[in-house]
Amino acid sequence: MSKRAFGRRKVDMNFQSEDTSAVDWLARGVTLGLAGGLAEVLVVGVWSQVAGIDAAGVAGAIATAVRVAPGSAATGLAVHMALSAILGIALLAGARASGLQRAGPALPAYAMGLLALGATWSLNFFIVLPIISPGFVHLLPYPVTLASKLIFAIAAVATLRAFPAAAGSRATVPAAVAAWPRRTRPRA
């Protein structure tokens, strides 16, 4: 078990606890991603109805962007959900490393999720997509794509917080806070 000294107290830096297998941990990450990916699909679907555009065309553009069965809506949806699952695993790793899993206040977990997915959106729309598929960047308005990514964060964090706490879990506050020396007596 990997431990790192943090002040006088040791903090567990593993991505799994004694009561959670690696498969369970990955399944949780995939679940977070699928919840977020589904939320994004719903946002784009609603926008498509409001704006009068073809949602299947958006999914097909994803397949075209990754050059797998270009134009196929089913393939685009599968690629979107696969990438969402990977993003969910990364989000879970971030939550685990920062101690912002189920236990503790919700606000820091949601803030971390929103910041992480906002950064992901920026990277995608300003660096990655202009290189691999410039046309995809302008398929939907930026506010819609940003909103969909932020809704992903909210859905993923809500799913994370809905998981039952691991038995014997000590992660009630971020590790850095837990490691801070506590005063038992007031200063004189």
Phi and psi, residue 18, nearest 5°: -60, -25
Examine residue 160 and state whether it is found in any structural domain, yes or no.
yes
Examine residue 101 and state whether it is found in any structural domain, yes or no.
yes
Each residue of 76-92: pLDDT tens digit?
A: 999 999 999 999 999 99
Examine residue 156 and state whether it is found in any structural domain, yes or no.
yes
- Predicted TM-score (pTM) of the model is 0.75
Examine residue 188 and state whether it is found in any structural domain, yes or no.
no
Examine residue 94 and state whether it is found in any structural domain, yes or no.
yes
User: What is the percentage of the chain residues whose pLDDT exceeds 90?
Assistant: 56
Examine residue 4 and state whether it is found in any structural domain, yes or no.
no
Q: What region, left, alpha or beta, does residue 101 occupy, with left being phi > 0 and alpha being psi -120 to 50 degrees?
A: beta
Q: Which domain holds residue 32?
A: 20-164+171-178
Residue 54: pLDDT above 50? yes
Each residue of 133-184: pLDDT tens digit?
A: 998 999 999 999 999 999 999 999 999 888 876 544 444 444 444 444 444 5
Predicted confidence at residue 20, as pLDDT, reads: 66
Higher pLDDT, 167 or 123: 123
Examine residue 99 and state whether it is found in any structural domain, yes or no.
yes
Examine residue 10 and state whether it is found in any structural domain, yes or no.
no
Largest Cα–Cα distance in the chain?
72
- Encoded tokens for 176: 């850095």
Lowest mean pLDDT among 26-30, 41-45, 100-104, 171-175: 171-175
Predicted confidence at residue 163, as pLDDT, reads: 81
The structural domain count of the chain equals 1
